[in-house]
Amino acid sequence: MKSTTKSQQSQDSHAIGEVRAFNRFYTNHIGLLDYRAMGLGYSLAESRVLYEIAETPGIDTTELRTRLGLDPGYLSRILRGFATDGLAVKEPAADARKHLVTLTERGRSAQAEQDRASSAHIGEHLADLTGAERDRLLDALRTVREVLGERPRSRTMVLRAPRPGELGQVIARNGARYAEEYGWDASYETLVAGIIADFAARGDTEREAAWIAELDGEAVGAVFCMRADAETARLRCLLVEPRARGLGVGSRLVRECVEFARRTGYRRVVLWTTHVLTDARRIYERAGFRLAEETAHPGFGTGELRGQTFELDISSPGTGSANQ
């Protein structure tokens, strides 16, 4: 039997509590406890049964029960109700031990109305979100499905040098992303524009480099490695689009930057960020970066931030790996 430490038990208990808290929040938020009150006409279980039968006409009741994890008696009561209302018919299969269920024309109309009502209800919850908030939500939902069992779609990631015109796009995407997600004003975009203009003007192809991350042929991220001094490289302007977050793009970009700095002869890599960029901080810390300094920063039109300087020693072979 696998032993469990007190620390692991505490972490498990915390994780369980977080999942249960999310379940309570979500069921209340979209009204799952009173599905009929949402104008859908049927309970959540009844609606799911209608949906599965519509998706697979002639589905075996055993398969239907397995898909939904329903008690056999409960499913039988639902199907009897559907038959009484003229929504579905149940017929014996070639194997007498099985029964097949199909929706009637009335049942298909009811399911289509359920689908429209459900879509409208969810649409109301999405209507007040900004584009950035919607991207973050959809990325989080995809992550939940993948982690908890759905097979993720195979995706191809490549890193390459910027093409003509892409440095300007990186500036624009930085300005837009941080304005949408954090409310930063144009002073941040101005800062990024200055950094990237300096990179382009210096043209130091031996000790500086930039990478664009492509996912399935679409540009979804960028990072720059620039010279701070003879022994210090500076990681700058890391950006990962919301639709690509959680897929390892940020970690891959940081790793590429660090490896370039090591090959080029730098002894350390530094970077500057702010305390609100928690996802980026986790990427840096996984790569081995450690917080070296924290100071007040006037912010980018949103009030005071805490500026944070991180450092990574790469002077010895094997240091600065993602496993640190």
Return the structure tokens found at 27.
């069921």
Considering 138-147, 239-248, 249-258, 297-306, the range whose residues carry the highest mean pLDDT is: 249-258
Side chain identity at 2, as an amino acid letter? K
How many angstroms separate the CA atoms of 220 and 240, rounded? 6
Q: Is the pLDDT of residue 262 over 90?
A: yes
Specify whether the CB–CB gap between 86 and 99 falls below 8 A. no
Residue 199 pLDDT: 98
**pLDDT tens digits along 213-256:** 998 889 999 999 999 999 999 999 999 998 888 889 999 999 99
Helix, strand, coil share of the chain (percent; to 5): 50, 20, 30
pTM of the model: 0.56
- With a pLDDT cut of 90, the percent of the chain lying above it is 48
Instruction: For residue 125, name the pLDDT band (cuts at 50, 70, 90).
Output: confident
Side chain identity at 41, as an amino acid letter? G
Residue 321 pLDDT: 46
Q: Is the pLDDT of residue 198 over 60?
A: yes
* Residues 181-209, mean pLDDT to the nearest whole number: 96
Residue 38 pLDDT: 52
Phi and psi torsions of 203, nearest 5° = 55, 35
Token pair 């992303």 is found at 177
Residue 297 pLDDT: 93
The mean of the pLDDT values for the chain is 86
Side chain identity at 211, as an amino acid letter? W
Q: Which residue has the higher pLDDT, 164 or 135?
A: 164
Q: Is the pLDDT of residue 101 over 80?
A: yes
Indicate the domain borders of the chain. 1-28, 31-128, 157-313
Q: Is the pLDDT of residue 11 over 90?
A: no
Residue 140 pLDDT: 79
Q: Which residue has the higher pLDDT, 69 or 10?
A: 69
User: Please, what's the b/e burial string for 160-176 (b: 16 or more CB within 10 A of its CB; e: otherwise)?
Assistant: eebeeebbeebbebbbe
Task: Report, at the CATH architecture level, how domain 31-128 is classified.
Answer: Orthogonal Bundle (1.10)
- Cα torsion angle, 302, 306, 312, 313, sign: positive
Residue 154 pLDDT: 52
Residue 323 pLDDT: 35
Instruction: For residue 324, name the pLDDT band (cuts at 50, 70, 90).
Output: very low
Instruction: For residue 270, name the pLDDT band (cuts at 50, 70, 90).
Output: very high
Q: Is the pLDDT of residue 149 over 90?
A: no
Residue 70 pLDDT: 84
Element (H, E) at 66: helix 61-68
- With a pLDDT cut of 70, the percent of the chain lying above it is 86
Which CATH code fits 157-313? Answer: 3.40.630.30
Q: Is the pLDDT of residue 37 over 90?
A: no
